[in-house]
Amino acid sequence: MPLLLRQGPRRQRPPRRRPLTPSVRIAVVGAGVGGLVAATGLQRDGHDVTVYERRDAPGAVGAGLTLFGNAFDALDTVGLGGTVRAVSDDRITRMRTGQRSPSGRWLTTVPPRAVATARTVHRNDLHDALVSALRPGSLVAGTEAHPSPDGSPVLALAAREAAYDLVVVADGIRSAGRARLGLDTGLRYAGYAAWRGVTEEPVDLAGAAGETWGRGRRFGIVPLGDGRVYWFATHDEPEGTRAPDERARARALFAGWHHPVGQCIDATPHTRVLRHDVHDLRRPLRAFVRDRTVLLGDAAHAMTPDLGQGAGQAIEDAATLVVVLRDATGPDDLESGLARYDAHRRRRTRALAARSRAAGRVGQISNPLLAGSRDVALRTVAPTLLVRASRTFRSWTPPSSGRNT
């Protein structure tokens, strides 16, 4: 969620591709961001890749997101950086961002270099761009695909089984594939719900974006390229709480907050305001790989949105998988690359998931005394801490050939 934590422009030159002979037959389960990036990167390396999506009309949830420099480093590695830059926008880098109080007083301002490479994008635009990058005919929609419980690369489809050399499971936070492999640790409620929306028309942000922190609730503002605004809001409440009109409820929860909080909510059709309980995995998975089946994205390491790294980490997963498979010489030479993927990605995502949950706890503080102390700390020490923390997010680099990174 937060608009922070990526320092300094740094572009990666994509590693030289070496087509495999023979190519590896790969199935990707799930046409989300991570699955599509993995599929396209693998196809461009000469693999035969089919993507299965259970929905008849695959598409993204109608909201926005911020991608930081680590995501673009990974996209550049698989040749998709230009594709995503073309549908995203960098105006947030020229705005004042940080945390404000409900009255509009700035608690802290994020140093400009911490968002120097950030770009915002509507999820639908991102999804359409990634689907267009796939090889024609390789996306199979409206098809349930289930991996083999023992991890062998066989998919159970509606009326048949299909054998592959590798299966990539990227079917989201409530991954049926993760459960089928016996790796599920269950979901854990973070203690708060989130609302999301995109305004129907442009909203004047007066040159400012970022988050506003109250007691047990937050509101975030993200500019999109056409002047519209992606916004999100959080509130501490029992899991499963629902209202007949979620837009009206969000408006009531944030009544009296500074401009343009109310304006963003009012400019969003009530049918397009999304609400969901926020979860992450109860415990980190003991493995992302079983035999020749690989977990990727939220299926592997669902985290709270408090660091804004969900999509970024799925993209890193995808790029890492593409790179480690470049060392293989064919279908019978996958094990070492998959082991490298497993070790590298579990190590990094475990740390980020823990940090994200901790950040959410701080942002959602509801006790008045603790919230006051938090706000004082934001004004005095946050800028330095944010720059230091940004080093974590810029640390992804493509795995070197034959080594863990």
**Which residue's structure tokens are 């390789």?**
138
Side-chain half-sphere exposure of 308, counting CA atoms within 13 A: 27
Fill in the amino acid letter for 241.
T
- What is the model's pLDDT at position 259? 98
The separation between the first and the last C-alpha atoms of the chain, rounded to the nearest angstrom, is 27
Phi-psi region of 338 (alpha: psi -120 to 50; beta: other; left: phi over 0): alpha
Question: Could you tell me which residues are beta bridge partners of residue 58?
Answer: none
Longest dimension (CA), the chain: 64
- What is the model's pLDDT at position 12? 46
What's the rounded Cα separation, in Å, for the pair 81 and 394?
16
317 burial (CB, 10 Å; 0-12 / 13-18 / 19+) is buried
What's the rounded Cα separation, in Å, for the pair 278 and 179?
19
- What is the model's pLDDT at position 405? 43
Torsion of CA 351, 355, 358, 362, to 10 degrees: 170
Mean pLDDT by 10 residues, the chain (405 residues): 43 47 86 98 96 84 88 96 98 96 95 88 96 97 96 93 97 98 98 98 97 98 96 98 98 98 98 97 98 98 96 98 88 90 95 95 97 91 66 74 46
| pTM attached to this predicted model | 0.92
Contact between 85 and 72 (Cβ < 8 Å): yes
Encode pLDDT of 41-60 as tens digits: 999 999 999 999 999 877 66
Tally the residues of the chain: 405
- When computed from its CA atoms, the radius of gyration of the chain, rounded to whole angstroms, is 21
- What is the model's pLDDT at position 328? 81
Q: How is residue 157 written in tokens?
A: 């489809």
